[in-house]
Amino acid sequence: MHHANHFYGHAHIMAKYAGLPAGDPPTIWGYLQHGWNILDGFAYNTAFVAGMPKFVWSDTVRRRGWSMGLRNYSVIGSAWLYLLELHPELAAPAPDAAGTIFYPFHGWEGQNVLGDHAEIVASINEHETGPVTVCLYWNEFENEAIKQVYTDAGFRVITHGYRGLHWRKTDADFLLKQLKELRKHRRVASNRLSSAVLYGASIGLQPGVYGDPMLLENEHPSFGGQARIRRLWPELNQPYVPLDLAKAFTDAELGVEHLAGPAEIRDLFRWTDPALLVKPRTAKVLS
């Protein structure tokens, strides 16, 4: 299993949806898209093994991949949508839902984010009137100086956990924690159009994108950067995105029309062998 298949507990969500026993999921035979992506569905320079399937969220991703010469795509929708199927009890907002949850653009183990968090605070204060929760990714959350900027502003500061890396420290409940937090709020916002904004909008939160988008250290130009995102989707880069626009965009990008049934997932991922379903997972590095 490519290690990115485990990010955010995606493999665990898919295994549960497919009706597999609890515990480490068996190997997914292929590559699973792990975040909203404006290129081929995967991280830059992913070393694909020839012939291996690429499981992506949307047909827009598949078409871009094909234009780049990539093949073996299967469009199955996002793991987020399968999570929603697993938790109908979270289909409605919490009775006391209020305010905004804001997701500052974050880095990861290999790249830091460069920018002024105080400017993000100023932008939040300009556009939000209710209580604000700021959700930091784990590496910014562990940076006390960054966290202090938001706590000093009077915001509640949280993290959903650790997404995992190379099969280690994966929080299998990462997305479930995110869903529960989103349900406590009425708005979702970020300084960049991102997976978190799509997730919130998909369940009816009023989305917003505003503030300094910050820079990702050594960001590869193949993705086109923020300029490309703003050029392609200007209507989604504003403090208050109309809900009808947000709904149409998130349905398409998350792949609402492409969800597969449990048996189909087992077939696509090669989870049909009973022996495979019970033996412990062994890491198989595909790149």
User: What are the sequence ranges of the domains in the chain?
Assistant: 3-88+255-278, 94-252
Predicted model pTM: 0.91
183 vs 228: CA distance, rounded Å: 31
177: its two tokens: 């924690």
Q: Which range, of 65-74, 103-112, 137-146, averages the lowest pLDDT?
A: 103-112
What's the confidence (pLDDT) of residue 213? 85
Residue 226's pLDDT is what?
A: 77
For the chain, counts of helices (H) and of strands (E)? 12, 10
Average pLDDT value over all residues in the chain = 89
Residue type for position 280: P
First-last CA distance in the chain: 10
CA-closest candidate to residue 287, choices 170, 166, 195, 202: 166
User: Can you give the pLDDT at residue 130?
Assistant: 93
**pLDDT recorded at residue 283:** 40
| Percent of the chain whose pLDDT exceeds 70 | 88
Share of the chain above pLDDT 90, in %: 73
> The domain 94-252 is classified under which CATH number: 3.30.360, 3.30.160, 1.10.3470, 3.40.50?
3.40.50
> What CA–CA distance (Å, rounded) separates 204 from 187?
9
Whether 265 shows a pLDDT value over 50: the answer reads yes
- pLDDT (tens digit per residue) in 33-91: 999 999 999 987 788 999 999 999 999 999 999 999 999 999 999 999 999 999 999 99
Strands (E), the chain: 31-32, 54-56, 73-75, 100-103, 113-114, 132-135, 156-158, 187-190, 206-209, 215-216
pLDDT of residue 215: 72
